[in-house]
Homo-oligomer: A and B are copies of this chain.
Amino acid sequence: VSELDEDERRFTVGEVAKSTGLTVRTLQHYDNIGILPTSGRTESGRRYYIRNDILKLEQIVFYKSLGISLNEIKEKLIDAPTSKRMEQMLIDHLDILLSKISSLHTAVSMIEVSLEELRSSGNLPWEACVGLIRTLEGSSLKDWANYKFDHVIYDNLELENANASDIMDTYLSIRSLLVEAAMLSKLGRSAGDPAAQALAKRWWDLILVMTGGDETVVNAFQTVDKNREEWPEADQSLYQAAEPFLEEALGIYITVNHIEVPDSLK
Contact = CB atoms under 8 A, between A and B. Distances in A.
Interface of A: 6, 9, 19-22, 51, 54-55, 57-58, 61-62, 64-65, 83, 86-87, 90-91, 93-94, 97-98, 100-101, 104-105, 107-108, 111-112, 114-115, 118-119, 122-126, 129-130, 132-134, 136-141, 161-162, 165, 169, 176, 198, 202
A90 B62 contact: no
Contact of A133 (B61, B118, B165): B61
A133 B98 CA distance: 17
Given A20-B130, A65-B139, A94-B115, 8 more contacts: A20-B134, A21-B133, A22-B133, A54-B130, A83-B122, A90-B118, A100-B104, A101-B105
B101 A162 contact: no
A165 B174 CA distance: 13
A139 B97 CA distance: 10
Q: Which secondary structure characterizes the binding site on chain A?
A: helix
Contact of A101 (B86, B108, B136, B137): B108
A97 B21 CA distance: 23
A83 B123 contact: yes
A131 to B, nearest CB: 9
